[in-house]
Amino acid sequence: MDVILFLVFAIIAVVSAVNVVVQTHPISSAVSLIGVMGSLAVLYLLLGGEFIAAAQVIVYAGAVMVLFIFVILLLNAGAESKSGRSFMVQLLGVPLLIALLGLLAFFVQRLFPRGVSVHFGGFTGGTAQAVGKALFTTYLLPFEVTSLLILIAILGAIVLARKEID
């Protein structure tokens, strides 16, 4: 049953991720990104990381996506205009994509030989204590740098929106 649930939500995550890139309207892309984050939370649950799954839903699918949608609405971003594709792109796009995926699969098989397999529910590092200890000891500097980058991005969006209004 775990394998079936894993495959279902992995497929949902991949389809939603492709939909993020394919959509022309930014709000539709943001909603698809919520689908990716929700399915990742379910995958974390299947692996035994209950706290990480809850944090994924609350922080990313909740707070960060509200921030993304707020910035999209603040910038008043409309749908992208579709440009005509050249004949060469239509002819070579899919075969080159298949070749790239084949090369990636080959190199992954070569560089990462089979090791220990994943056991569903066997992960014990996803508790609140383990995540908090890692976050405030090992990953404190990257955590703080990320928060500063998000603050700078918000200020940049406000400056861009203010110039548009004037």
Express each pLDDT in 38-83 by its tens digit. Answer: 999 999 888 888 888 888 888 887 888 887 777 777 777 666 676 7
| pTM metric for this prediction | 0.64
Question: Are the beta carbons of 40 and 13 closer than 8 angstroms?
Answer: yes
Mean pLDDT over 2-18 rounds to 93
Q: Give dist(CA 120, CA 117) in Å, integer.
A: 10
Q: Which domains does the chain have, with CATH numbers?
A: 2-79+125-165 (1.20.120.1200)
